[in-house]
């Protein structure tokens, strides 16, 4: 079970025998007004900066999305892909809900891309899977269909199974289908984490496919989201997830993914962990606290027993006598 993505200079392998693959999520104008306005105006400076920053932070693949209302999404997405490939050498994930934009992105891309995404809806399958077959790319398959998103993990697994079978009917190997079990907001659905872990395990054991998700969704609406996302990633990795679309710039997330790789046996001699630890700033050393004042010096100790001090003992006896005389007077 190994999914291979390529750029002209790099090959990324996704699978249970490899370190976890981070797909950087930042090149996405959704919820980023400045980025959306700049991309709509064909200003890609922030796209370049986001690409470089994410790769520097450890992203192995970059997601590129150009979903801007009323803009020419196919043209903007294709240009964004050309720009990102001009400044980085990692493979890309081409992200759009519009089929024409996906096709434009695939035509512009150099290498074997990851397509984001197809669902279990028959109309979507018939529109997207021929592109996957034509361009011989990999695809993220989201486990929902015409009925929506079920909270029942068995229903979502059934959708995943349907997509894998349909992909094979187009000549697409299972290795090129990554199931997205859907990370639902844990603040609204208490079972969201357990459901996702169950689907991941079943996809790995019963379908023999890799799994990927948009990890940030799990903490939607909650405070301290990076800490929650990091803990979720570690648990998802333990369940068998092999890659995710997430933010590599968040230290909590990066730390937990690297730590999970250590415990999954995917970091030989803990090399990546040690390299990361050495890159962290040294903690500030606090000044030593002054020793607390004492009414009397502590008695020296020898072999665990207090050493007798005859002079101190005589002084103590004299003090007790004086106290008794004072009390009698």
Check whether 55 has a pLDDT greater than 60.
Answer: yes
**pLDDT value, residue 1:** 83
* Structural tokens at position 23: 């797909």
* 8 A C-beta contact, residue 149 and residue 182: yes
Rounded average pLDDT over 33-43: 97
Q: What is the mean pLDDT of residues 200-221?
A: 97
pTM, full prediction: 0.85
Whether 173 shows a pLDDT value over 70: the answer reads: yes
Domain-embedded: residue 324: no
- In this model, does residue 312 exceed pLDDT 90? no
Q: Per-residue pLDDT averaged across 34-45, rounded? A: 97
In a domain, 202, yes or no: yes
pLDDT over threshold 80, residue 50: yes
CATH number at residue 238: 3.20.20.20
State yes or no: pLDDT of 230 exceeds 80. Answer: yes
Q: b vs e for 135-167, b when ≥16 Cβ sit within 10 Å of the residue's Cβ? A: bebbbbbbbbbeeeebeebebbbebbbbbbebb
- Residue 280 in any domain: the answer is no
* 231-287 pLDDT tens trace: 999 999 999 999 999 999 999 999 999 999 999 999 999 999 999 999 988 877 777
Residue 201 pairs in a beta bridge with none
- The structural domain count of the chain equals 1
Domain that holds residue 43: 3-266
pLDDT of residue 290: 63
Tell me the mean pLDDT in the region 299-312.
Answer: 53
As a whole-number percent, the residues of the chain with pLDDT over 70 amount to 88
For residues 277-304, give the mean pLDDT. 65
pLDDT at 281: 86
The 10s digit of each residue's pLDDT in 90-137 is 999 999 999 999 999 999 999 999 999 999 999 999 999 999 999 999
Q: In the chain, count H helices and then E strands.
A: 11, 12
pLDDT of residue 289: 66
How far, in Å, CA of 164 to CA of 168, rounded?
Answer: 6
Three-state DSSP state, 171: coil
Q: What is the mean pLDDT of residues 17-30?
A: 97
Q: Is the peptide bond before 117 cis (omega within 30 degrees of 0)?
A: yes
Strands (E), 39-193: 61-65, 92-95, 114-119, 138-142, 177-180
Phi, psi of 26 (to 5 degrees): -75, -25
pLDDT of 303 over the 90 cut: no
Q: What are 135-148's pLDDT values in tens digits?
A: 999 999 999 999 99
Question: What is the reported pLDDT for 286?
Answer: 72
What is the rounded distance in angstroms from the CA atom of residue 6 to the CA atom of residue 112? 5
Q: Taking 80 as the threshold, does the pLDDT of residue 326 lie above it?
A: no
Is pLDDT of 321 > 90? no
Instruction: With respect to residue 121, please indicate whether it lies within any of the assigned structural domains.
Output: yes
Say yes or no to pLDDT of 228 above 50: yes
Give phi and psi for 328, each to the nearest 5.
-70, -35
pLDDT score of 329: 45
308 or 4, which is more confident? 4
> What average pLDDT does the chain have?
91
**311 within some domain:** no
199 inside domain: yes
Which of 198-207, 221-230, 260-269, 289-298 is the least confident region?
289-298
């Amino acid at each position: 079970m190994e999914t291979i993505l390529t750029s002209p200079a790099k090959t990324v392998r996704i699978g249970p025998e490899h370190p976890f693959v981070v797909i950087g999520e930042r090149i996405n104008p959704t919820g980023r007004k400045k980025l959306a306005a700049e991309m709509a105006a064909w200003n890609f400076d922030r796209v370049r900066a986001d690409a470089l920053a994410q790769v520097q932070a450890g992203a192995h693949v970059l997601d590129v999305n150009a979903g801007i209302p009323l803009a020419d999404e196919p043209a903007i997405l294709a240009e964004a892909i050309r720009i990102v490939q001009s400044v980085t050498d990692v493979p890309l994930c081409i992200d759009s809900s519009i089929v024409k934009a996906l096709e434009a992105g695939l035509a512009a891309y150099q290498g074997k891309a990851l397509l984001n995404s197809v669902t279990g809806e028959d109309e979507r399958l018939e529109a997207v899977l021929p592109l996957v077959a034509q361009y011989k790319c990999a695809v993220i398959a989201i486990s929902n269909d015409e009925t929506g998103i079920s909270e029942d993990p068995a229903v979502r697994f059934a959708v995943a199974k349907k997509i894998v079978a349909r992909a094979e009917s187009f000549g697409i190997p299972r290795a090129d289908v990554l199931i997205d079990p859907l990370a639902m907001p844990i603040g609204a659905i208490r079972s969201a984490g357990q459901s996702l872990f169950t689907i991941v395990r079943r996809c790995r054991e019963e379908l023999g496919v890799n799994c990927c998700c948009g990890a940030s969704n799990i903490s939607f609406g909650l405070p301290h989201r990076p800490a929650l996302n990091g803990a979720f990633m570690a648990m998802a990795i333990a369940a068998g997830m092999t890659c995710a679309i997430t933010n590599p710039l968040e230290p909590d997330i990066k730390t937990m993914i690297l730590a999970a790789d250590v415990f999954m046996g995917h970091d030989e001699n803990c090399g990546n962990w040690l390299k990361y630890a050495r890159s962290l700033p040294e903690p500030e050393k606090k000044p030593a606290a002054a020793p607390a004042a004492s009414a009397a010096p502590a008695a020296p100790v020898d072999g665990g027993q207090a050493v007798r001090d005859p002079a101190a003992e005589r002084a103590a006896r004299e003090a007790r006598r004086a106290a008794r005389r004072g009390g009698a007077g």
